[in-house]
A and B are shown apart, each in its own frame.
Chain A
Amino acid sequence: MDAAGEEEGMTYNEVVEYFNSMQDPPAQERIDCIIPYLISLLPAPFVPAQPEAAGASSDSEVDLFSFTSSDSEDDSAAAVHAFPSAPGDGEDHISRLPDDVLSEIISRLSTKEAARTMALSTRWRGVWAKTSLVVDDAHLMDSDGPRQITVVRAISRCVDAHPGPVRGVRVTHVAFYDHEYALRRLVASLADKNVEDLILFNRPWPLNMPLPDDILRCAHLRRLYLGTWMFPEVAAAACPPAFENLRELGLFHCIILDEDFDALLSHCHKLEVLSLVMSYHCPSRLRLSSPSLRVAVEWMSSFDEVVVDEAPCLERLLLQSIPVSERVLIKIVRALRLEVLGILDLQLHALEIGGTAIRAGMFVRSSAKLPSLKILAVKVCLAIEREIKLLSIPRASPEIANRVELWKSLGSCECLKSHLKTVTIQGFRKQDYELLCLNYLVSEGKVLKTVAFFSEDHVSFAYKDVVAAEITLMFPKDLAKDRWSFQSAIDLSLDDPFFCSVEV
């Protein structure tokens, strides 16, 4: 990995340095934890690898139909045992089903088993070729553990044998370092065979394994998740990326230069969901400028700046930032439809809207407001005065040390008077300063309908404690349930990625 690092210059060295600077746990251990975590964030497999998970309809039968039956020496005996239902009339009914029904059946089989239907009869052989191909390397692993060469070869053979189109490919188990030629051929075939849905991960090391340029030719891609790659040059590329159908893009632990990322984004005209997970140092500035983007997620990356330049369709800007020493600037220039923003960490993020840096106590001009915003998630330490003031953005705030006075001094604001309807509080520990905040919200929140909170131990807060603190609390209509996760962040079907209402 050292040799590769020298060739790739600054960026890779930075990443490696970052890894090596971590004493405990060391880089190897760390990456061994990170990769499974990254894979756990990915969309679900097309067909579950284990038969147990395949169909709820046949839970009790799973054992009967598992591979153990093929261990039997006498095939016919095994078949009778495996299928105890009344025998048929011996006619080949199933092969007379229409192609699309047989294709449906094949598409529910694992990659290997789908291909094995080719050997049933000439009819089935033709149907496999007509069924959009699904490849999952989890289906191609040997039961006695991963053998890289076999898996890589199986993936290539499978894609080569099929005329296309390729509906979906999910490769998460392969270390491509020793298979660079196979990798290049694979990506080229996938581009040629119109792959629509691709999840392609490289198992380190190195962390800067170059992703073949042919990835940019995959014009039929609708969903693309890439993990642990050095992204090819886009800005200086001879052919611009052909991602005109791409709706969902996730870059996990990928190295991509700022200008390449900007160029990439500018060629994805239909992109709706973008996620950047664990991007270390580069790009250092995430610039979002897209006519179609609806959700942007930054997950555990370390950017210096997140800039929403011109994103007329952006509904959600979601951040799960990791603490870094420098303040991270969140700069929203134009996002007329932004509805959900968070989690803003008042200790970490600095917010700038419409060219105005948001500071405590300032008068907020209309250009520095986000009128479309419906949900704001903020990580705030209520024991810190600066954060309280930032949170409330009051008209005037004289320097008062006493916290009770501080809350009193805040006065009210437009938001509390006429907009704020629901407050959900996570990590509530019933401390004095928290109760003061609650008191403030309840007494000033003229349209507040629901306050839902969790104590440290996730037990919903008891009303009587609030009463004891002499707070007149409106009874919550429904308590909320925490659901904040990467999956909920990228899920456009959810109204609220942070919490879901549940019946009391």
Chain B
Amino acid sequence: MAAATDDAGDSNEMIRVVSSDGEHFEMPEAAANLSLVLRHMIEDDCADAAGIPLAVVAAKPLAKIVDYCTKHAAKSSGLTIEEAEELKRFDAEFIEVDTDMLYDLLVAADFMGVEGLSKLAVQRTADLIKGKTPEQNRETFGIVNDFTPEEEEEICKENEWAFQITKPPSRLC
């Protein structure tokens, strides 16, 4: 709702943010408002020409987040079915990233309080985990296996119900 009025009124109001590695970015106020942290800063009049410093967000993910917020702010209220579909497609393409970027987005969205993006990144991570063996998942995400072989076997044995697959019968861990 706030986004709609901003769009109609002073849509030129741009908010500056600075990444942890010193790069400057600009986005409309409506876009910045999608971040809980930025919204509070704006409300507290902390948004000035120097830009809001974001200590834990590097330039690469920040560029993506600015992109995400700008797109979503422009289409925040009164979506038609087509627009909602388009936004869905945008999200789908947006989150097609490698695991490093996915990790950066998870951290940054969590830190900046961008709820929609957090959900998107969490769902993407879950989708990547789905349908894989633990070994495959370790490989995908670079997870270090710190179990002893005995411990690992014990977990699989204790939770046999979760590790059983009937077609075809195969060893999973």
Contact = CB atoms under 8 A, between A and B. Distances in A.
Interface of A: 51, 54-61, 65-71, 75-76, 78-79, 82-83, 85-95, 97-98, 101, 104-106, 108-113, 115-125, 140, 142-144, 150, 153-154, 157-158, 161
Given A79-B140, A122-B147, A70 B133 contact: yes
23 contacts: A55-B126, A57-B120, A57-B123, A69-B132, A70-B133, A75-B139, A85-B96, A85-B99, A87-B98, A88-B99, A93-B99, A94-B143, A108-B123, A108-B126, A110-B130, A116-B163, A119-B134, A125-B155, A142-B166, A144-B166, A144-B167, A154-B161, A158-B162
A78 B99 CA distance: 17
Contacts of A115: 159, 161-162
Given A65-B130, A121-B146, A157-B159, 12 more contacts: A54-B127, A56-B92, A60-B92, A70-B132, A87-B98, A90-B142, A94-B143, A101-B106, A119-B155, A120-B143, A121-B143, A153-B161
Contacts of B167: 143-144
Contacts of A93: 99-100, 103, 141-142
B134 A67 contact: no
B129 interface: yes
Nearest to A153: B161
Contacts, number: 188
Contacts of A153: 161
Interface of A is mostly: helix
Of A108, A115, A120, A125, most B-chain CB atoms within 10 Å = A120
A113 B129 contact: yes
A315 B88 CA distance: 36
B12 interface: no
B124 A104 contact: no
A78 B166 CA distance: 19
Contact of B166 (A95, A113, A143): A143
Interface residues of B, number: 57
Interface in B57-114: 88, 91-92, 95-100, 103, 106-107, 110
B106 A97 contact: yes
Given A70-B172, A95-B143, A153-B161, A88 B127 contact: no
B168 A71 contact: yes
Contacts of A71: 168, 170
Contact of A124 (B127, B143, B163): B143
A56 B139 CA distance: 25
A97 B107 contact: yes
Interface string B137-159: 11111111111000010011011
B123 A55 contact: yes
Enumerate the 4 nearest inter-chain pairs by beta-carbon distance, A residue then B residue, closest first.
A115-B162, A154-B161, A108-B126, A93-B103
Of B97, B103, B162, B170, most A-chain CB atoms within 10 Å = B162
Given A108-B123, A116-B163, A121-B147, A88 B155 contact: no
A79 B144 contact: no
Given A51-B130, A56-B88, A119 B124 contact: no
Contacts of A150: 161
Nearest to B163: A116
A475 B158 CA distance: 69
B47 to A, nearest CB: 27
B139 A79 contact: yes
A67 B165 contact: yes
Given A108-B123, A119-B173, A66 B103 contact: no
B127 A116 contact: no
Nearest to A59: B92
B147 to A, nearest CB: 7
A67 B127 contact: no
Contact of A119 (B96, B126, B152): B152
Contacts of B45: none
B128 interface: yes
Contacts of A55: 123-124, 126-127
B132 to A, nearest CB: 7
B15 to A, nearest CB: 26
A57 B126 contact: no
B92 A57 contact: yes
Contact of A92 (B88, B135, B144): B144
B131 interface: yes
A66 B162 CA distance: 16
Contacts of A97: 103, 106-107, 110
A90 B131 CA distance: 22
A7 B87 CA distance: 60
B160 interface: yes
A82 B140 contact: yes
